[in-house]
C-alpha cells in the first residue's frame, strides 16, 4: 500500500468511527503500517475530530449509541469544510435497509460486518486513490500556472470564506496587496523570460514568508500579489509585510531601471477590518488597494497602512 504515500506525498489520514473498540482494533491493525490512524467512539467525537483533522477517508459505523452514523454523515456533508471527505459506512446485516439512505446522504461505499480484511483493504484502497486524484485536480485548478502559488480564483474563494468566518467569530482579518516596483521597466530591460523568472522567485519568497496553514499567499494578477491573513490584527499584518520586504531584499535581484533602488523592491498596502455580518469582502480589498496606491504615491519601496 506504499503507493498511497506516493500519491499523497505523505501518509493518508484515516478516521475510524465505531463505539465497539474491537472493530477499531481490527481496522487499526489493517492500516497502521501505511496510514495515520485516528479513532472516535461516538458521533459527537467524530464530528469534532473531522473538523480538526480533515482526514482523507472516514470509516463510519451506522449503529452507535447517541448520534448514529447516518446523522454524523448528514452533518459532515452539509458543512462546506467537511463535505468533500469520503465516508465508507460499516454496516451489520440488520442495517442493510439503511445502506441506500446512507448513500443518498453522500457516503461513497459501505462494508458489511463481520469485517473481511481483503474487502476492507480493497475498498479503502479504491477510495483513498480517488480522493488523492480529486485533491490533485483541485490543486491544479487553484494554482497559478507560472508561479505555482494560489491563483486569483483561489484567492477570491479563500477571502470570502475568511471574511465570513471573521464576521461570525467577531475577529479581524487582514489583507496585504503587494506590487513589484517598476516591473514593466524590469521586463523592458531584461526581457519577458527574465521577468517570468523574477515573478517566480518573488512568489516563492512571499509564500515562504506566510507560515500559518490558514493564511494564503496568491498571485492577484500581473506583478501584483496578495496575502490573506485571518485572525490577524494590523500590527501582525505590518510585521509580516516587513518580513516579506526583507526576504525580497535578500534575493538581491538587480533592477537597474528602478528609480528607488538598484535591486528589486516591493510596495505593500496593508488593510485590517473586523467584518460585519452581511458585509462584503470587497470592502477589505478596496482599503488594501488604497493603501497600496498611497505606498506608490509616497515613493514606493515601502509598507503603507491605515495609520502610517
Is there a single domain that holds both residue 12 and residue 72?
yes
Q: Evaluate whether 262 touches 255 at the Cβ level (below 8 Å).
A: yes
What percent of the chain is helix, strand and coil (3-state, nearest 5)?
50, 20, 30
CA 132, CA 149: separation in Å to the nearest integer? 19
3-state secondary structure of 301: coil
CA 73, CA 59: separation in Å to the nearest integer? 11
So what's the pLDDT on residue 96? 59
So what's the pLDDT on residue 92? 80
Q: Evaluate whether 17 touches 58 at the Cβ level (below 8 Å).
A: yes
Is there a single domain that holds both residue 133 and residue 173?
no
Catalytic residue among 223, 250, 262, 290: 223
Q: What is the number of other CB atoms lying within 10 angstroms of the CB of residue 189? A: 15
Give the least confident one: 66-70, 286-290, 292-296: 66-70
So what's the pLDDT on residue 202? 98
Residue after which a domain boundary falls, among 139, 170, 194 = 139
Q: Please compute, for residue 26, the number of CA atoms within 13 A of its CA located in the half-sphere on the CB side.
A: 16
So what's the pLDDT on residue 8? 59
Higher pLDDT, 96 or 91: 91
3-state secondary structure of 33: coil
Q: Domain range holding 218? A: 152-304
Is there a single domain that holds both residue 77 and residue 196?
no
Which DSSP string corresponds to 191-245? -HHHHHHHHHHHHHHHHHH--STT-EEEEEETTEEEEEETT--HHHHHHHHHHHH
Is there a single domain that holds both residue 221 and residue 268?
yes
Is there a single domain that holds both residue 13 and residue 63?
yes
Which DSSP string corresponds to 250-298? HH--B-TT-SS-SB--EEEEEEEE-PPTT--THHHHHHHHHHHHHHHHT
Is there a single domain that holds both residue 118 and residue 170?
no
- Residue 223 annotated as catalytic: yes
| Local structure of residue 116 (DSSP, 8 states) | P
Q: Evaluate whether 199 touches 147 at the Cβ level (below 8 Å).
A: yes
The CATH number of whichever domain residue 65 belongs to comes to 3.40.50.2300
- pLDDT-derived band at 4 (thresholds 50, 70, 90) equals low
So what's the pLDDT on residue 308? 56
So what's the pLDDT on residue 114? 87
Percentage with pLDDT > 90 across the chain = 78
* Phi, psi for residue 120 in degrees, rounded to 5: -60, -45
Is there a single domain that holds both residue 226 and residue 294?
yes
* Residue 183 lies inside a defined structural domain of this protein: yes
The CATH number of whichever domain residue 243 belongs to comes to 3.30.70.270
- 215-266 confidence digits (pLDDT tens): 999 999 999 999 999 999 999 999 999 999 999 999 999 999 999 999 999 9
- 32-60 confidence digits (pLDDT tens): 998 999 999 999 999 999 999 999 999 99
Is there a single domain that holds both residue 159 and residue 292?
yes
Q: Is 293 exposed, middle or buried (0-12, 13-18, 19+ CB in 10 A)?
A: middle
Q: Evaluate the omega torsion of the peptide bond into residue 282 and state whether it is cis, within 30 degrees of 0.
A: no
Amino acid at each position: 500500500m506504499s503507493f498511497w504515500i506516493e500519491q499523497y506525498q505523505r501518509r493518508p489520514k484515516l478516521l475510524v468511527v465505531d463505539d465497539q473498540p474491537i472493530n477499531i482494533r481490527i481496522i487499526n491493525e489493517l492500516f497502521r503500517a501505511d496510514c495515520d490512524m485516528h479513532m472516535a467512539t461516538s458521533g459527537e467525537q467524530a464530528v469534532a475530530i473531522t473538523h480538526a483533522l480533515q482526514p482523507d477517508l472516514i470509516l463510519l459505523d451506522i449503529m452507535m449509541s447517541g448520534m448514529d452514523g447516518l446523522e454524523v454523515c448528514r452533518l459532515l456533508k452539509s458543512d462546506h469544510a467537511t463535505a468533500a471527505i469520503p465516508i465508507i459506512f460499516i454496516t451489520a446485516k440488520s442495517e442493510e435497509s439503511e445502506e441506500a439512505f446512507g448513500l443518498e446522504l453522500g457516503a461513497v461505499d459501505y462494508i458489511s460486518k463481520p469485517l473481511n480484511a481483503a474487502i476492507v483493504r480493497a475498498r479503502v484502497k479504491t477510495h483513498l486513490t480517488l480522493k488523492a486524484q480529486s485533491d490533485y485536480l483541485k490543486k491544479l485548478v487553484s494554482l497559478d500556472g507560472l508561479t505555482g502559488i494560489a491563483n486569483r480564483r483561489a484567492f477570491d474563494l479563500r477571502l470570502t470564506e475568511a471574511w465570513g468566518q471573521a464576521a461570525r467569530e467577531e475577529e479581524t482579518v487582514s489583507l496585504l496587496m503587494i506590487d513589484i516596483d517598476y516591473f514593466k521597466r524590469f521586463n523592458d530591460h531584461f526581457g519577458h523570460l527574465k521577468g517570468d523568472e523574477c515573478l517566480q522567485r518573488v512568489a516563492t519568497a512571499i509564500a515562504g514568508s506566510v507560515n500559518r496553514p490558514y493564511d494564503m499567499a496568491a498571485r492577484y494578477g500581473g506583478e501584483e500579489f496578495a496575502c490573506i491573513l485571518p485572525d490577524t490584527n494590523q500590527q501582525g499584518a505590518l510585521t509580516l509585510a516587513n518580513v516579506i520586504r526583507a526576504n525580497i531584499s535578500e534575493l538581491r535581484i538587480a533592477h537597474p531601471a528602478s528609480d528607488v533602488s538598484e535591486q528589486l523592491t516591493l510596495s505593500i498596502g496593508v488593510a485590517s477590518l473586523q467584518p460585519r455580518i452581511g458585509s462584503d469582502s470587497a470592502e477589505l480589498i478596496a482599503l488594501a488597494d488604497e493603501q497600496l496606491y498611497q505606498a506608490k504615491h509616497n515613493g514606493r519601496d515601502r509598507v503603507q497602512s491605515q495609520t502610517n
